[in-house]
Amino acid sequence: MSQSPIDTTSAPENDAALLVSDLSVGYGQTDVLRGVSLRVDAGSVTALVGPNGAGKTTLLRAVSGLLPVKEGSVQFFGDDVTRLEPFRRAQQGLCHIPEGRAVYRSLTVRENLQLQASPDRETEAIERAVAAFPILGDRLGQQAGTMSGGEQQMLAMAAAYVRDVRLIVVDEPSLGLSPVMVDKIYEFLGAMATGGTALLLIDQFVDRAMAMADAAYVMRRGEIVFDGEPATLMAGDVFDHYVGG
């Protein structure tokens, strides 16, 4: 079974929230990504799956500017951001929610949210976060590190809501969470997508990710091996062929 080469120019570039072209990234002399191309259309949800060690997290780190690019380019809404600092990409509306509940554990929930907000919009930011995750309203004065894993993930997700983001790249948002918390996280992501925010999603719950995705990619050994519709990937033995049982 084979997959036709990816064409990241099949639609106008200005329709793309994210356009990754022939990207090569590595650590030292070791290449982890080799010639990766991927596209996330504006207002759409794209799921990226693959076995552990395939390079999915490395790709997200390169997209957000946390890893330097050896070759290729990253465009964000038509602008070349390949060499742009991570905070500049964040200012333009790119939000990276990494694996591992990235919160400041020694700070309170309120302080975590204030750090993510513009100085003149702190009150609005907290109100928006609490509207998205009401339980955070009862935890504003609590140190983030003393909350449950699910509540910490909600706080990390709320960072995407207190800023004016156009694209969220999110890495394993449901890892280690209870089914109830997973439902809440996906409800939030669904609301963001419905509101027009583009998403690039990596998650262990492939069925959940594919159910909300408009496009799907599979990565193996640092390369994209499938690019197509989620329904095609999940049909018959296609998923096992590309990802493995």
pLDDT (tens digit per residue) in 84-113 = 999 999 999 999 998 877 789 999 999 999
Give residue-wise pLDDT tens across range 173-217.
998 889 998 999 999 999 999 999 999 999 999 999 999 999 999
Average pLDDT, stretch 114-126? 85
Tokens of 209: 């990710």
Asked if the model's pLDDT at residue 10 lies above 60, the reply is no
- Structural domain contains residue 14: yes
Q: What are the Cα distances from residue 5, in Å, to 8, 98, 223?
A: 10, 29, 12
Average pLDDT, stretch 23-52? 95
- Structural domain contains residue 216: yes
Question: Confidence band (pLDDT; 50, 70, 90) for 116?
Answer: confident
Q: What are the Cα distances from residue 217, in Å, to 36, 54, 85, 156, 194?
A: 11, 12, 26, 25, 21
Rg (CA), the chain: 18
| pLDDT for res 118 | 79
φ, ψ of residue 99 in degrees (nearest 5): -65, 140
| pLDDT for res 9 | 43
Which residues, 6 or more positions from 43, have their beta carbon under 8 angstroms from its beta carbon? 17, 193, 196, 197, 198
- Structural domain contains residue 151: no
- Structural domain contains residue 134: no
| pLDDT for res 241 | 85
Question: Confidence band (pLDDT; 50, 70, 90) for 227?
Answer: very high
| pLDDT for res 245 | 54
- Structural domain contains residue 100: no
Name the percent of the chain lying above pLDDT 90.
Answer: 70
Name the percent of the chain lying above pLDDT 70.
Answer: 94
Written as one letter, the residue type at 145 is G
- Structural domain contains residue 103: no
Total count of domains within the chain? 1
Asked if the model's pLDDT at residue 244 lies above 80, the reply is no
Contact 128, 187 (CB under 8 A): no
- Structural domain contains residue 183: no
Tokens of 235: 């049909």
What range defines the domain where residue 48 resides? Answer: 1-93+204-245
Average pLDDT, stretch 163-178? 91
- For the ranges 2-16, 154-168, 216-230, the lowest mean pLDDT is seen at 2-16
To the nearest whole number, what is the mean pLDDT of the chain? 90
| pLDDT for res 100 | 77
d(CA 145, CA 45): 30
- Structural domain contains residue 161: no
227: domain CATH number?
3.40.50.300
